[in-house]
Structure 1
C-alpha cells in the first residue's frame, strides 16, 4: 500500500506525458513511498513508451473513456492519498504537496484543483467551455447545496475512503461531475485548492467535444439529482400535472357547468382526471424512492465503517512488515 499514488489517465499524450511525469517526480521527492501510475487508454502514439522510460508504472484500460480508466485505477490501487492529474500538462505540480497534506493531515476526503478562481478564463480559448464550466458549477452548488468552485477539473486529491466508496458509473468526461455530487451528498469533507491553469501546448490535441461532453454532463446532472433527491425531482412533474388538471377542469368543465348545469366537455373531464391521477402517482413514486434513498444513505455509512476498518488493518500489516 503506497503512501501517495499519483494517477495519470492518458490517451495519445506523447507530447506532454514525459514532462508531466518528470515534474511530478521533482515535486514529490520529499514525500515518502510515492508511486506514479500512468493508465493508458488505447493510445496510438508513443505515450506508453515515453511513460515507461520516464519511470512511471504503466497499466492499461482497454475500455475507452475516462470513466472506465478511473474505475480501473480506483479498484486496483491502494494508497493513503491519491492525486489525479491530467497528462496534458495544463496543471502545475507545485500544489501537489499542499493537496497531499490536506488529505493526509486534515482528513479531507477530496481536494479540488480550482482553475476557475485563477487563470482559466484567460488561458482557455474555448468560450463554450468557459460558459459550460460556470453553468455546471452554479447548478450543482445550487441544487446540491455545496461550495465546490470547479466541478469539471481533472486535478484532484482523494482519501482512501473516498476512492473505495465511490461508485464509478460514467464512462466519459462527466465522471468529474459524479465525483463532486458524490462528495456533496455523502457529507465528505471537500476543500478547494486554487491552481493556475495553462492551455495545452501548441500541437497537443484536446480530447474534449464541447457540445457532446457538455450535453452528457447536463444529462448526468439531471440523473444524479433524480437519484439523490427523488422527491424533489418527481414533485416538479407532480405539480405540473396537478396544475394542468386544475386549469382544464376549472375553465373547460366547472365554469361551463356552473352556467348550463351540464357537463359539455366529457373528453376534457377525462383528461383532467387522468392528469390528476398522474400527479398523485408521480408524487408518491418520489416519496417511495426518497425512502429508499434514505436507506441507501444509512447503508453507505455502514459501508464506510467497514472501509475504515479495512484500511486500519492494512496500516497495521504495513507497520508489521516494516
Structure 2
C-alpha cells in the first residue's frame, strides 16, 4: 500500500463531536498523521474536538458535503486521498484494504458496505434506496460498482483533479462514480465493515429528500456519459404520450364520432418530438463513443 506519509485522510463533518475524536484517533493509531477535517459550521464543538485530537481543521465556506469535499481537495497536496464520513460508521482499520489497490494500478477505490454490514447499521428504507440507486447506476452508466453511495473512498489526487464535481450535497459520491466511468478511471471495489451509528450521533442524511437529489444527479449525469439513455428515455416518454393521446382520439372517433382535432395535433407533435429526441440520442452516443476512443489513443501515446 502507499506510504502513510503520502496519504491525506479527508473527513467532511457536520455536528460530529460525539464521534470525530475516536475516528481521528483510529487513523493516527494506524500511522496516518495527515488528517484534514472540513467542518460545515458545526454548532456542537466538532472543530474543537478535531483540533484536540490532532487533525488539521478548516471551516467550510459553503454548505453541503459535496462542497466540503471540493474545498478539502483544494487544501490537499498529498499524492493519495482517503475519504470517509466522521460519524463512526467506517472503521480506520479498513484503511489498508482501501489503499492497497492503489499500488496495483487502480486510481479510485470504493468501499463496499454491503460486504460487511452490521445488523442495524442501515435502516430498511435506506437499504432499499441504496439497492435501487445502485441498480439504476449499473443500467444507466453500464458499470457495476456495487455501492456507489459509499462514503469510504481512496483515490489519487490526480484522478480527483480530472473529475468535474458540482454537487453540493450527498450526490458527490454519485458524481465521483460517474466521473470514474466517464474518464475510464481504473476503479476497484473492496469489502469493508459498516457499523451502526452511535446513539448519541444524529444523521445528516434525509432519505427521501437526499435520495431524490441523488437520483436526479444520477439521471442528469447520463446526459454526457450515456446520452442514448438520457435522450432516449425522454423521447420514449414523449412518444408514449403521443400514442396514448392518438389512441384516445381514434377510439372517440370510432365509437362516438367525436373528433378531437387539437388533441390529435398534440399527439402528432409529441410522437415526432419523441422520434427526434431518440435520433439525437443515437447521434450523441456515437459522438461520445468516438471521443472516448480518441482519448484512449491519446493516453496510449503518452
Q: Could you state the TM-score of these two structures normalised by the residue count of structure 2?
A: 0.85
Query: Which residue matches 1:159?
Result: 156
Structure 1 residues 296 and 36, CA gap change in structure 2 (3 angstroms): farther
Contact residue 38 and residue 57 of structure 2 kept, 8 A: yes
Contact residue 141 and residue 225 of structure 2 kept, 8 A: no
Cα distance in 2 for partners of 1:123, 1:275 equals: 48
Query: Which residue matches 2:269?
Result: 274
Contact residue 161 and residue 304 of structure 1 kept, 8 A: no
User: Secondary structure of the residue that 2:168 maps to in structure 1?
Assistant: coil
Q: 1:13 aligns with which of 8, 11, 16?
A: 16
Query: Which residue matches 2:100?
Result: 101
Structure 1 residues 303 and 16, CA gap change in structure 2 (3 angstroms): farther
* Residues 244-300 of structure 1 deviation map (CA, whole Å, 9 limit, x = unaligned): 55676688569x79xxxxx96644553343224313432344356446645775797
Query: Which residue matches 2:38?
Result: 39
- Per the TM alignment, residue 95 of structure 1 is displaced from its structure 2 partner at its CA by 1.9
RMSD: 3.0
Residues 304-319 of structure 1 mapped to structure 2, 5 A cutoff: none
Cα distance in 2 for partners of 1:128, 1:287 equals: 36
Contact residue 165 and residue 304 of structure 1 kept, 8 A: no
Cα distance in 1 for partners of 2:264, 2:148 equals: 47
Q: Give 5+ residue unaligned stretches, structure 1.
A: 258-262, 310-322
Larger radius of gyration: 1
Greater alpha carbon shift after TM alignment, 74-83 vs 292-301: 292-301
Q: Could you state the TM-score of these two structures normalised by the residue count of structure 1?
A: 0.80
- Per the TM alignment, residue 240 of structure 1 is displaced from its structure 2 partner at its CA by 4.1
Q: 1:189 aligns with which of 186, 191, 195?
A: 186
- Per the TM alignment, residue 172 of structure 1 is displaced from its structure 2 partner at its CA by 0.7
Runs of 4+ in 1 over 6 A off after TM superposition: 298-305
Greater alpha carbon shift after TM alignment, 156-165 vs 221-230: 221-230
- Are residue 236 (structure 1) and residue 249 (structure 2) matched? no
Cα distance in 1 for partners of 2:209, 2:263 equals: 41
Cα distance in 1 for partners of 2:8, 2:146 equals: 24
Structure 1 residues 205 and 275, CA gap change in structure 2 (3 angstroms): closer
- Per the TM alignment, residue 215 of structure 1 is displaced from its structure 2 partner at its CA by 1.1
